[in-house]
Amino acid sequence: MHQKSNRLKQLTCLTSLKSFSVNFNKKLILIAFVGTFLAIFWQELNAHYLQHSDSNRFGMIQTADEASYLAPPINYLSKGVWADNSDGITRFYQRPPGYGSIYLICTLILGKYALLGIKIIQILGYFFSILLIGKISILVLPKTKLALTAALITAMLPMYSGFMYYTLTEGITPVLTLWTIYSYLNFNPSKKTFAVIVSTSLLILVRPQMILLPFLFIVYQLLKRERKLALVISFGFIPFALWQLRTFSISKEIPRLHPIYSTQNNTLFRPSHEAMTNLFRIWESDGEQFHSAIAGINNNEIDEALSIIPIEFHAQVKPVLVEYERLLNSKDDFKSREYLAEENKLVKHTYEVINSIKKENKFLTHIKTPVESARYLLSKSQMNLYIFQEPLRGNPFIELLRMLSVLLINLGLIAALIMLFRLKLTVLTVISAFIFLTFFYLIYVQRLNEERYLTPFLPLLLICLLHGFDTLKNIIHTRFFIK
């Protein structure tokens, strides 16, 4: 009789859990559908305002990065060589093959409708990102209301779908990031190894800078003495390692994560441009300002470039800019002995100026510019579409969305920071470390940023924020309402 009672209780419990799971999934799918249709509405409205004349693009927004992302698969099909159309050795490896491989598959299946394939994939990617943020939230928070709230916010705010119609990796990195985390949380040694390896491989091949995420999870699993998942994750590094080996065999140099510079390039991206980048990093936090300055130098407009540079550095910097202008004017033969000698001289001079300015301006170098870089990134709403910047700017509803988006990003970062310094090591600690280490790299090392660099982190910031909100609510409830 006692055994029958226990079995009945177990059966009732399983039925209840199954019913909960079904109801939760139904609500989550409904939110994902509504959010995806809303995102499509914003993107199609944006495409209408932009008035694309090329019907073969299917509303997809053209970007400068297409030259390095989409050209390699096209050349591979026509010439048998994976390389873009730039003039230099980095054409063979400037971009990792992840995004290009997706375009290659779309081209093989859909032919001239390949961009439509990319569009469908990125729409589906956004749909699944809503599902995944709900699934991850229910595992790490874990409360149904919070999980559904995370999914609902992701579905309703356009900052989470801003790059859905762009031919950029930002169109798929959010879903790949969430899928990777979910595959780790849902790991089962007998069944789920494939998802872990594939999600890790794809994430790194599409965006190598995200390699920190699986690395941190490996460390986390080793600290927990869960070696099986750590080993399986490490297999996901193999495709990228092979790509790096190919890069090394071509360049004969230890490859970087983003190898755009080489003395063998007949383009702007040579050591002289790299030296200029490092010079501007001392005081500049906006990548667009740097590109404007370089364009001015390239067009023999030194004064225009100087107008972007703090006046106190003009005396030291102007001679370097004049040298760079002279070098660019002789760019017809990048490989001549005279050109290389002039470039080496310029690079040496530039780094002398860099070291001098850094030595005399330590506060600017180590504090002010990183803080400005952080302010630049954190002041952006991530509502990047043209309609939000021009036609609908000033609309009360849009401005409310803009302020809400900025608030969510900043509060999410604060919540992640607090979580990072908790004594208890959890998955959320790993996610917070991933966010902050990358954010520190962006503001302190890279500095010359674009707002889109935060795109893959937006759903993670939301999870941290909701966890922080729930923790605060529990503290208040415990202290003031429980006697």
Cα(94)–Cα(259) distance, integer angstroms: 6
* Helix (H/G/I), strand (E/B), else coil: 385: coil
Query: Are 260 and 356 part of one and the same domain?
Result: yes
Cα(265)–Cα(270) distance, integer angstroms: 6
Query: Are 310 and 405 part of one and the same domain?
Result: no
Q: Is residue 150 part of a domain?
A: no
Paired with 449 in beta bridges are 286
Q: Is residue 218 part of a domain?
A: no
pTM for this one? 0.92
Query: Are 354 and 390 part of one and the same domain?
Result: no
CA distances from 222 to 219, 228, 237, 404, 424 (A): 5, 9, 17, 39, 16
Query: Are 418 and 468 part of one and the same domain?
Result: yes
Query: Are 397 and 465 part of one and the same domain?
Result: yes
Q: Is residue 115 part of a domain?
A: no
Last residue of a domain, one of 360, 376, 397: 360
CA distances from 92 to 82, 155, 264, 475 (A): 6, 38, 12, 55
**Per-position pLDDT tens, the chain of length 483:** 555 555 555 545 545 556 557 888 999 999 999 999 999 999 999 988 887 656 678 889 988 889 899 999 999 999 999 999 988 899 999 999 999 999 999 999 999 999 999 999 999 999 999 999 999 999 998 788 999 999 999 999 999 999 999 999 999 999 999 999 999 999 987 777 899 999 999 999 999 999 999 999 999 999 998 899 999 999 999 999 999 999 999 998 888 888 889 888 888 899 999 999 999 999 998 888 898 888 888 888 888 889 889 999 999 999 999 999 988 887 666 777 888 889 999 999 999 999 999 999 999 999 999 999 999 999 999 999 999 999 999 999 999 999 999 999 999 999 999 988 876 889 999 999 999 999 999 999 999 988 999 999 999 999 999 998 888 887 776 766 665
Query: Are 416 and 462 part of one and the same domain?
Result: yes
Last residue of a domain, one of 360, 376, 403: 360
Question: Which domain covers residue 325, as residue numbers?
Answer: 255-280+283-360
Q: State residue 407 phi and psi, 5-degree precision.
A: -60, -45
Q: Is residue 475 part of a domain?
A: yes
* Cβ atoms 387, 45 nearer than 8 A: yes
The total domain count for the chain is 2
Q: Is residue 249 part of a domain?
A: no
Q: What is the DSSP letter of 166?
A: B
Last residue of a domain, one of 360, 394, 425: 360
CA angle 42, 48, 52 (to 5 degrees): 125
- Cα dihedral angle (89, 95, 99, 101), rounded to 10 degrees? 30
Query: Are 341 and 299 part of one and the same domain?
Result: yes
Cα(253)–Cα(86) distance, integer angstroms: 19
CA distances from 4 to 11, 16, 18 (A): 10, 18, 21
Cα(53)–Cα(183) distance, integer angstroms: 41
Q: Is residue 292 part of a domain?
A: yes
406: buried, middle or exposed (CB in 10 Å: 19+, 13-18, 0-12)? Answer: middle
* Cβ atoms 173, 456 nearer than 8 A: yes
Query: Are 331 and 417 part of one and the same domain?
Result: no
Q: Is 395 left (phi over 0), alpha (psi -120 to 50) or beta?
A: beta
